[in-house]
Amino acid sequence: MSVITTYVRLRPDELAELRGLLVESPAEALEYADDLRMDDRGMDSGKAWDGLRHLLAKLAPPVDVISGGEPLTAGAWSADAPRLLTAEQVTAAAHFLSGTPFTSLARHYDPAELTLANVYPEAIWDEDWALEYLEDSYGNLVALFQAAAAGNEPIILWKS
């Protein structure tokens, strides 16, 4: 089983609906959030999330866009409790991400270091395509945060 991080931009009514579903039926909440993601309101990072976490940490971002935010449940929803980044956190993250080209992250890319640090998924960092894989996911992440910031929207994220 692989672990991915999923992100969804939320309008105020969607956040209220999601909060209600999290109390009533976590499974329905997951379906609801996933439907929003499929409606171009979100994305998933594939397995790139931990590599991005490792590289972003080298740059001291103002917001942890990989596993930050306020937990919305006790964790019964998935491998990780869904977390909410507020609209203010999203805006701060969007400014940072927009001003940080992937080349800034790539300068810190060291396959041996990623492997030694047990960065998930451990078996890919020596592959020729691994850096491009991270770059593609980073580009999607930047675009998502820019769109959410433009709409003054929070983002929910979770690992599954």
Under the banding of pLDDT at 50, 70 and 90, the label for residue 133 is: very high
pLDDT in the model for residue 79:
55
User: Looking at per-residue confidence, does 119 or 74 come out higher?
Assistant: 119
Average pLDDT of the residues of the chain: 92
pLDDT in the model for residue 74:
58
Q: How far is CA 111 from the centre of its chain?
A: 22
The string of pLDDT tens digits covering residues 33-91 is 989 988 889 999 999 999 999 999 999 999 999 999 998 875 555 556 789 999 999 99
* Burial of 80 from C-beta contacts in 10 A (0-12 / 13-18 / 19+): middle
Identify whether the C-beta of residue 5 lies closer than 8 Å to the C-beta of residue 154: no
**What's the pTM?**
0.92
Distance CA 93, CA 146 (A): 9
Distance CA 48, CA 93 (A): 18
pLDDT in the model for residue 29:
87
pLDDT in the model for residue 109:
98
Under the banding of pLDDT at 50, 70 and 90, the label for residue 160 is: confident
Distance CA 12, CA 19 (A): 11
- How far, in Å, are 16, 45, 72, 82, 107 from residue 3 at the CA level? 27, 10, 19, 14, 25
- How far, in Å, are 15, 44, 67, 109, 123 from residue 114 at the CA level? 35, 21, 18, 8, 10
H/E element, 85: strand 83-85
The string of pLDDT tens digits covering residues 8-29 is 999 999 999 999 998 888 888 8
